[in-house]
Structure 1
Amino acid sequence: MNDEPAELTEEPRGCLFALSQPPLMLFLAFVGTLIFLTGLHDLYRW
């Protein structure tokens, strides 16, 4: 009855595994920095 390949029967990797990937963290840090800078620019228009 269990005809699935061995890879699919492993536990699924969760969100913490995805967040441990350096490219994703660099991308999220870049996007977060842009959002922070635009928010700061809206608050204090130099």
Structure 2
Amino acid sequence: MAHFTGEQHAPDPPIRPDTADRPAPDPGDPEARGCLFALSQPPLILFLTVIGVLLLVSGVYDRFWL
């Protein structure tokens, strides 16, 4: 491991690209959609509903019939 002598300083911060000259993303573009777009898909909603119902039924069964 090298030993540095003399004055040390933090590295320069990364250069951020200027976003002012870029156009806003098109909302119809598939890559411009956020991660919440996946929650609007019917198969995922159906899957999450089935899992939720199974958890609810098992919780109610444990609470009242065991």
TM-score, scaled to structure 2: 0.48
Write out the 4+ residue segments of structure 1 that deviate beyond 2 Å after TM superposition.
none
**Larger C-alpha radius of gyration, 1 or 2?**
2
Q: CA RMSD in A?
A: 1.6
Structure with bigger helix share is 1
Higher RCO structure (Cα 8 Å, ≥6 apart): 1
Report % sequence identity: 56
Aligned length: 36
TM-score, scaled to structure 1: 0.67
**Residue segments in structure 1 that go unaligned for 5+ positions in a row:** 1-9
**Residue segments in structure 2 that go unaligned for 5+ positions in a row:** 1-30
